[in-house]
Amino acid sequence: MIAGATEPVAGAPDPPQAGVWNIANALTMVRIALVPLFVWLLFLDGTGWRLAAFAVFAAASVTDKIDGDIARARGLVTDFGKIADPIADKALTGAALVSLSAMGELWWWVTAAIMVREIGITVLRFVVIRYGVIPASKGGKLKTMLQVIAIGFYILPGPLDYVRWVAMGAALAVTVVTGADYLVRAWRLRRAPEGSGPQGS
């Protein structure tokens, strides 16, 4: 036996699982609550209101990074968080995309392509949840980051058209590619033997 190693005690209870009500999940819910405020500010006229909308969007986006770091550092990762976190992301980015298109500042086909992917993958997560939870991949996190950056450029006032187009083009490409990746992962999860899915991982 290796010195210093400890063996599990027979009959000892399993380590307690993180509860749904924790600081990480609370930040996720705050992000969802900020969406209506952001949309309201975005539709107001004036550079000052536009900058205020950008500030709220940026603050809401930052909580995505913070709640993830807290959840991993404090062992607060929950299945609820794995589902609610991407929903919060989609609520924020989706509201921004639809609002920008409604204001005539972003092509509707771009918004439609991104929203079809986002809603489709969200529905897919619920469809396969009986087999296991599909956590966000590195590609999915990159997709979210690129979408946030691109949307941020569209929200900011000023002559930034070229930068906006390049950023949104990159976000759209990664969005489509990662969507295909989630389809493959869902298919593999569905085909895996019962009980071998990544629940709780």
Q: Give pLDDT tens digits for 105-121.
A: 999 999 999 999 988 88
| CA atoms of 111 and 107, how far apart (whole Å) | 7
- Looking at the domain covering 23-191, what would its CATH class be? mainly alpha
Contact 171, 127 (CB under 8 A): no
Lowest mean pLDDT among 63-67, 75-79, 149-153, 179-183: 75-79
pLDDT band at 172 (very low <50, low <70, confident <90, very high): very high
Q: Report the C-alpha dihedral over residues 175, 176, 177, 182, rounded to 10 degrees.
A: 80
Q: State the pTM of this model.
A: 0.74
Contact 143, 178 (CB under 8 A): yes
| CA atoms of 49 and 51, how far apart (whole Å) | 5
